[in-house]
Amino acid sequence: MLGTMSGNLIMPSLEPILLSSITLSNKVGKDTDRTITIRSHQDIVQAVHEHNPVKAEDAMLLHLTYCRSILNHR
């Protein structure tokens, strides 16, 4: 949703895939994964709320890096 709101042209195509992966992750993921993911989303939203693009980008990169590490270890 945030990607679409920011004008990212690719996000509308990716959103169904992301939503289905979230559903799957919630079914098979660990509670710690969910907690970290929720916290990272909160950090991203907070940075956007603060109008701080550097902080938002850093938070998003940390989130994506964490997601990649989870996928690589399954």
Distances (CA, A) of 25 to 7, 19, 30: 27, 10, 8
Q: Is residue 51 included in any domain, yes or no?
A: yes
Answer for the pair 18, 2: CB distance below 8 angstroms, yes or no.
no
What pLDDT is attached to residue 74? Answer: 64
Burial class (CB in 10 A: 0-12, 13-18, 19+), 3: middle
- The pair of structure tokens assigned to 56 is 């938002």
**Could you give the CA distance from residue 34 to residue 30 in angstroms, rounded to a whole number?**
7
Of 54 and 72, which is predicted with more confidence? 54
pTM: 0.73
The per-residue pLDDT for range 21-42, each reduced to its tens digit, is 777 766 666 778 888 988 999 9
Q: Is residue 49 included in any domain, yes or no?
A: yes
Structural domains of the chain, count: 1
Q: Is residue 59 included in any domain, yes or no?
A: yes
What pLDDT is attached to residue 10? Answer: 86
**Could you give the CA distance from residue 58 to residue 50 in angstroms, rounded to a whole number?**
14
Quickly state the pLDDT bin for 56 (edges 50, 70, 90): very high
What percent of the chain shows pLDDT beyond 70?
A: 89
Q: Is residue 39 included in any domain, yes or no?
A: yes
